[in-house]
């Protein structure tokens, strides 16, 4: 998306999920395969912006080793912001999360609402915001994008996200499999719309985004989990709702107001809703003949994939590679 808008882009990634590609091949872009814990100031010189999305990306991974989540998601993220500032990077866009709000009940939450994270993942996101915010000055502008729960088809599609998961179970088994009692609220947003938010935050005038947090999504796209199940049931023919044996209340319950991003960032134009997203997912699962073993096994399930990499010796228990990724591509500094 950034390339299509005329930007020069360099990716930095550990590439731990190189064998988890879904569907078409990932577009080829200049990429350095390195851990964010190992970056230095020289790696960031010459860039106008950093879009920081690296980290342990969900609650099961965060729970695997809370100390490691603290090291990677919190301390390495703050270090990256400090390095970016020292290197003269002007815009630092951090992928935060609506998980910051955690156990919040039924109220609509704005960016000024209290944090109440309930997982190591959510706690790490809160701590990054708190520690990076004081770095802001006249030359360094951090922006905090608190994305709703993602969904949608992508080359590294995750099946542990609620809508992606419900459609997968419905397609593969004829059951809409709920792992909670269906009552918690969850805001959701398509991965393409999250990407649009990053583009808008990178390109926006400084005065609109400087040291600001934004809920990323659409205010009307807050659903109870059982409402998403109904949408899936109306999308996938012949399926039925089924609750897991241990299904119960989920502490994570929050609704978010996205008025701020809609009013302050005119470049952010979300295009998706849950029903259209469910239809897209169902079509993709049909095309690629997705099975339960795919999304509940190590091929796509992130926590199982990481455990398999540890067991096979590709990475150690600190998630550092013992077997190198694809060799680094020879690239120079770009505009972004």
Predicted local distance difference test score (pLDDT) of residue 330? 39
Domain presence at residue 334: no
pLDDT per position as a tens digit, 164-213 = 999 999 999 999 988 788 899 999 999 999 999 999 999 999 999 999 99
Q: Percent of the chain beyond pLDDT 70?
A: 95
Q: Which positions ≥6 away from 205 have C-beta within 8 Å?
A: none
Domain presence at residue 46: yes
Domain presence at residue 265: yes
Predicted local distance difference test score (pLDDT) of residue 178? 86
- φ/ψ (deg, to 5) at 127: -65, -35
Domain presence at residue 62: yes
Residue 334 has pLDDT above 50, yes or no: no
pLDDT per position as a tens digit, 111-154 = 999 999 998 889 999 999 999 999 999 999 999 999 999 999 99
Q: Which positions ≥6 away from 116 have C-beta within 8 Å?
A: 101, 102, 103, 104
Give CA–CA dist 75/233, Å, rounded: 42
Residue 81 CA: distances (Å) to CA of 67, 88, 199, 223, 290: 20, 11, 19, 34, 39
User: Which pLDDT band, with edges at 50, 70 and 90, does 251 fall under?
Assistant: confident
| Number of domains, the chain | 1
Average model confidence (pLDDT) across the chain: 92
Query: What's the CATH number where 226 sits?
Result: 3.40.50.720
CA dihedral 291, 241, 270, 191 (to 10 degrees): -30
Most confident segment among 62-71, 190-199, 309-318? 190-199
The β-bridge partners of 175 are: 240
Residue 231 CA: distances (Å) to CA of 63, 131, 176, 185: 30, 40, 10, 15
Predicted local distance difference test score (pLDDT) of residue 57? 81
Domain presence at residue 205: yes
Which burial class, exposed, middle or buried, applies to 84 when counting CB atoms under 10 A from its CB (0-12, 13-18, 19+)?
buried
Range list of H helices, 236-325:
259-264, 274-288, 292-296, 302-312
Q: Cα 203 vs. chain centroid, distance in angstroms?
A: 20
Domain presence at residue 329: no
- The residue written with tokens 């999305």 in the block is 53
Domain presence at residue 242: yes
Q: What is the mean pLDDT of residues 295-309?
A: 92
Q: Could you list the residue range(s) of the whole structural domain that residue 109 is in?
A: 3-312
User: Which pLDDT band, with edges at 50, 70 and 90, does 59 fall under?
Assistant: low
Domain presence at residue 285: yes
Of 58-67, 129-138, 266-275, 280-289, least confident by mean pLDDT is 58-67
């Amino acid at each position: 998306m950034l390339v299509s808008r005329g930007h020069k882009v360099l990716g930095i990634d550990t590439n731990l999920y190189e064998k988890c590609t879904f569907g078409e091949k990932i577009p080829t872009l200049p990429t350095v395969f390195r851990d964010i814990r190992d970056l230095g100031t020289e790696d960031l010189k010459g860039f106008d912006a950093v879009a920081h999305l690296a980290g342990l990306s969900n609650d099961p991974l965060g729970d695997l080793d809370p100390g490691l989540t603290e090291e990677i998601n919190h301390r390495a993220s703050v270090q990256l912001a400090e390095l970016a500032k020292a290197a003269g990077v002007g815009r630092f866009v951090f992928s935060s999360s609506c998980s910051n709000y955690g156990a919040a009940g039924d109220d609509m939450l704005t960016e000024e609402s209290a944090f109440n994270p309930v997982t190591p993942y959510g706690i790490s996101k809160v701590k990054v915001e708190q520690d990076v915010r004081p770095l802001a000055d006249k030359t360094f502008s951090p922006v905090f994008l608190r994305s709703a729960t993602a969904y949608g088809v992508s080359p590294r599609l995750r099946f542990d996200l609620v809508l992606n998961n419900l459609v997968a179970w419905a397609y593969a088994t004829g059951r809409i499999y709920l792992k909670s009692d269906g009552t918690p609220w969850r805001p959701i947003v398509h991965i393409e719309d999250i990407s649009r938010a990053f583009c808008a935050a990178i390109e926006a005038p400084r005065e609109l985004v400087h040291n600001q947090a934004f809920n990323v999504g659409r205010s009307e796209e807050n659903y109870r989990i059982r409402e998403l199940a109904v949408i899936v049931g109306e999308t996938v023919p012949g399926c039925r709702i089924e609750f897991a044996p241990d299904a119960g209340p989920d502490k994570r319950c929050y609704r978010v107001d996205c008025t701020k991003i809609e009013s302050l960032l005119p470049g952010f134009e979300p295009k998706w809703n849950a029903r259209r997203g469910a239809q897209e997912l169902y079509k993709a699962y049909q095309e690629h003949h997705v099975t339960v073993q795919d999304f509940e096994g190590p091929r796509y399930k992130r926590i199982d994939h990481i455990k398999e990499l540890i067991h096979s010796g590709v990475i150690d228990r600190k998630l550092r590679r013992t077997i190198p990724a694809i060799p680094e591509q020879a690239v120079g500094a770009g505009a972004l």
